[in-house]
Amino acid sequence: MLVGHEVSTVQRSRWTGIKNGKLLELAAAEFDVFLTMDRNLEFQQNPATLPIAVLVVEAVSNRMGWLKIVFAVLVAMRLWIACAPRAAAAGY
């Protein structure tokens, strides 16, 4: 789905039922970024102290069809971010 990236789900990682802080600790040991649809995370955890980068995704649904669209946007953003310093240096 995200070519060149390791992707998993809470269920696939067998972390179902594990809550917030512990879940983020487990994810941090294996991944660089934690994507979630939990809009309350910032009220449950202090983002500044999290052991992993967290990206809260807002989508119509958590069904794979909708998430594929979100992932495509994330890949495009990653490419844009990677090119931004060069574009800025070139005067764009």
For the stretch 34-88, pLDDT in tens is 888 888 888 888 878 888 888 888 877 778 788 788 878 877 777 665 555 554 4
Q: How far is CA 13 from the centre of its chain?
A: 15
Residues 65 and 51 in one domain: no
Report the relative pairing of strands 53-56 and 33-36 from DSSP bridges: parallel
- Are 52 and 67 part of one and the same domain? no
23 and 3 in one domain? yes
- Per the model's pLDDT, the better-predicted residue between 5 and 23 turns out to be 23
**DSSP three-state, residue 15:** coil
Q: Are residues 51 and 71 in the same domain?
A: no
Same domain, 4 and 41: yes
Q: Are 17 and 11 in contact (CB under 8 A)?
A: no
CA-based radius of gyration for the chain: 15
Q: Looking at the structure, do residues 54 and 88 belong to the same domain, yes or no?
A: no
Predicted pLDDT of residue 14: 94
pTM over 0.85: no
Number of domains into which the chain is organized: 2
User: 67 lies in which domain range?
Assistant: 61-92
